[in-house]
Structure 1
Amino acid sequence: MVDYSGHNEQELTRLFMAGDDAAFKEIYLRYDKPLYLYAYHKLGNKEESRDMVHDVFAWLLSNRKQLDLKTTLSGYLYRSVLNKIYNLYKHKEVLRKYADEGNQYLDIESTGTDYLIREKDITAMIEKEISAMPPGMRIVYELKSKKYLTAKEIAAELGVAESTVNTQLKRAMKHLKLNLKIFLLLVPILLC
């Protein structure tokens, strides 16, 4: 395989657009980390930043033949990441707007029964996610959330290390957060 580390950006771009995968690999190695740091500085979220950069490189790879650069490749990559960040902010703003508009139409006086039904449904969804946890994680989570035991008390009751309990609690919260994330975003909309 040819070593492209000595090639300048214009040469790499020309080779990449001609179909050279090794040139793409060099472009990726040069710009992946700086683009990630740029996105992370703007977003403050590691996963979203990584996804942004990955999406830009995936798009670049699948559209190399149609690529029409009016600037340098690095300028194009940074602008692409920035555009993705703007799109993410727009999307979040739309969700926030719908949630805010939905809150304006809440009629607390007449929706008492409706709230009870929805509360029951929400509780059922949460219980379903708790029951889907691995047994050890579920037991630790239930002892913490239903019996209000401390990590030390749970460790003593189960005969495990306190660090194990803390790890299980963190994993349980991550499990719930991931599996209920979309639902939690929609709760304000559903409550209207």
Structure 2
Amino acid sequence: MSYNIADEDQELLQLLRRGSQQAYMAVYKKYQRLLFLYAYRKLNNQEEAEDVVQEVFISFWNKCETLSPEVSIAGYLYRAVRNRALNIFAHREIESKYLESLDNFLDQNQESADSLIRERQIAALIAAEIDRLPAKMREVFELSRKGHLSYKEIALELNISEYTVATQIKRALKILRTKLGACIFLNLFF
């Protein structure tokens, strides 16, 4: 009568189902190296392959008493290694997507922060140039732009004609365009 590996595995499985540590060690010695090579080929990472094999053997020991007597030890162990490798691949993909998402978030916030800084610099430049306008012109301009008053309301408040209000605002805008044009251009693009 010939003796083959399947018969040996069936005997080991029977012993394992009864809690035999010697049978477990025999299975470990028989399959550990082969499973490591299999896991390493799949994962291309020695530490991950070692961890997978260790986890598979721990799980195998915890479940061996409840395994069906018809189970192929080799098939069970290889399938368990393959499934854990697939879980690692899925985790890597999720991790990669998370890192990509984080990079995008950081890039957007960097751009957002840069925009806010530029906006504040431009606002400071505009405020400084408005402060340099002649007093009456500045007052008319600020009532129009900051106070959101119409030309008529400004004229009534300052006791001047609407034509004077319009002229003062046109002159203020011309001065600001001239002085701020180059500054804003340089601030926006450099």
Return the alpha-carbon distance in structure 1 between the equivalents of residues 40 and 103 of structure 2: 32
Aligned letter for 2:52?
A: M
Greater helix share, structure number? 2
Preserved contact between residue 56 and residue 80 of structure 1 (Cα < 8 Å):
yes
Aligned letter for 1:41?
A: R
TM-fit CA distance, 1:60: 1.0
Which residue of structure 2 aligns with residue 82 of structure 1?
82
Aligned residues: 108
Larger Rg belongs to: 2
Note closer, same or farther for the CA distance 1:64–1:110 as it changes in structure 2 (3 Å cut).
Answer: same
Preserved contact between residue 17 and residue 67 of structure 1 (Cα < 8 Å):
yes
TM-fit CA distance, 1:69: 6.4
Is 1:65 the equivalent of 2:68?
no
TM-fit CA distance, 1:46: 1.0
The one-character-per-residue Cα deviations of 1:50-70 (angstroms, maximum 9, x if unpaired) are: 110000001111222233466
Preserved contact between residue 69 and residue 76 of structure 1 (Cα < 8 Å):
no
**Equivalences for 1:42-191 in 2 at 5 Å?**
42-68=42-68, 71-105=71-105, 106-107=107-108, 108-112=110-114
Return the alpha-carbon distance in structure 1 between the equivalents of residues 38 and 100 of structure 2: 31
**Equivalences for 1:11-50 in 2 at 5 Å?**
11-50=11-50
Aligned letter for 2:93?
A: E
Give the alignment's Cα RMSD to 1 decimal: 2.3
Name structure 1 gaps, 5 residues minimum.
114-192
Aligned letter for 2:75?
A: G
Return the alpha-carbon distance in structure 1 between the equivalents of residues 44 and 104 of structure 2: 31
What is the identity percentage for the equivalent residue pairs of Structure 1 and Structure 2?
34
Note closer, same or farther for the CA distance 1:69–1:79 as it changes in structure 2 (3 Å cut).
Answer: farther
Return the alpha-carbon distance in structure 1 between the equivalents of residues 113 and 10 of structure 2: 64
Give the alignment's TM-score, normalised by structure 1. 0.51
Give the alignment's TM-score, normalised by structure 2. 0.52
Return the alpha-carbon distance in structure 2 between the equivalents of residues 26 and 41 of structure 1: 24
- Greater relative CO (CA pairs within 8 A, separation 6+): 1
Aligned letter for 1:109?
A: E
Aligned letter for 2:10?
A: Q
Preserved contact between residue 39 and residue 49 of structure 1 (Cα < 8 Å):
yes
Note closer, same or farther for the CA distance 1:82–1:69 as it changes in structure 2 (3 Å cut).
Answer: farther
Return the alpha-carbon distance in structure 1 between the equivalents of residues 56 and 103 of structure 2: 36
